[in-house]
Amino acid sequence: MKLAKNGGLQLKVNALARKLPFEHPARHMRADQLRRIIKSPALLDDIARDLRRTHILFSQLEHVRVALAKHEVGGKKNSVAHAPGLALFNRWNGSLEYEIGYEATILGTLTRRDIAKSLRALADASNPPSEEDLASFDEFMKGPPPPPDDLWT
């Protein structure tokens, strides 16, 4: 989407199609995908809709992945995640449940069953979230405002 907006699609195709001293099928495949977008710009609307459909689940997974891998809060470099490796069993279904949190606030939880359910729901393209819904979700994921500095003194 960024390449299409800034006019860099053809430059990227040229870079990917550049002859290398070895065969790289994935580069050829990516170049072909970008060529299809250049030939049919209407595909950008489909891509934008698909990005809206996957945004919330991707953000939640990214948050949990960063906490597990880096012990940081997703999107907050050099932060410290609260209980980053903790996964508890969900009392209702027995699935592993991860906290999505920021500082002392638990924003929500994500279970393996939630992930599977959300992935299955991606097949229904009839009602993608609106840009306003996604902006509201992103604002929520930033967590509450920090307390005043003098709160702890």
Print pLDDT tens along the chain (153 aa).
999 999 999 999 999 999 999 999 999 999 999 999 999 999 999 999 999 999 999 999 999 998 888 888 877 788 888 788 789 999 998 999 998 887 778 888 999 999 999 999 998 888 889 999 999 999 999 888 877 776 665
pLDDT score, position 88: 92
pTM of the model: 0.78
Give every strand in the sheet of 96-102, ordered side by side: 87-89, 96-102, 105-111
Residue 150 lies in a domain: no
Q: Which two tokens stand for residue 89?
A: 């069993």
As for how many domains the chain has, the answer is: 2
- 133 shares its domain with 61: yes
* Domain that includes residue 16, residue range: 1-41
For the packed helices 43-70 and 112-121, what is the interaxial angle rounded to 10 degrees?
A: 170
Residue 149 lies in a domain: no
CA dihedral 90, 128, 64, 77 (to 10 degrees): -150
Residue-level length of the chain: 153
- 61 shares its domain with 110: yes
- 71 shares its domain with 88: yes
Residue 152 lies in a domain: no
In the chain, the amino acid numbered 100 is I
